[in-house]
Amino acid sequence: MENKDDIELISKYLLGEEDAFKDIIQKYYKLIFRFLFNYLGGSFESADLTQEVFLKVWKNIKKYDKKYSFKTWIFTIARNTAIDFLRKKRELVFSDFENEDGTVIFEDVISDDELLPDEIFFNEENTKKLKKELEKLPLKYKEVILLKYQEEMNFEEISVVLKRPVETVKSQHRRALILLRKNSNYSKYF
Provide the domain count of the chain: 2
Q: CATH no. for residue 66?
A: 1.10.1740.10
Domain that holds residue 145: 97-183
Please report, for the domain that includes residue 174, its CATH number.
Answer: 1.10.10.10
Q: pLDDT tens digits, residue range 137-159?
A: 899 999 999 999 888 999 999 99
Q: Is the pLDDT of residue 94 over 70?
A: no
Decide if pLDDT at 63 tops 70.
Answer: yes
Q: Which has more pLDDT, 131 or 93?
A: 131
Structure confidence at residue 72 (pLDDT): 94
Q: Please give the residue that has the higher pLDDT: either 140 or 187.
A: 140
Q: Identify whether residues 101 and 85 lie together within a single domain.
A: no
- Residues 105, 68, single domain; the answer is no
Residue 100 has what DSSP assignment?
T
Residues 101-121: tens digit of each pLDDT:
555 443 333 334 443 444 445
CA 116, CA 158: separation in Å to the nearest integer? 16
Q: What is the mean pLDDT of residues 47-73?
A: 93
- Is residue 114 assigned to a domain? yes
> Residue 32: which region, alpha, beta or left (left: phi > 0; alpha: psi -120 to 50)?
alpha
Least confident among 14-18, 162-166, 175-179, 184-188:
184-188
- In whole angstroms, give the CA distance from residue 66 to residue 13: 14
Query: What pTM value is reported for the model?
Result: 0.60
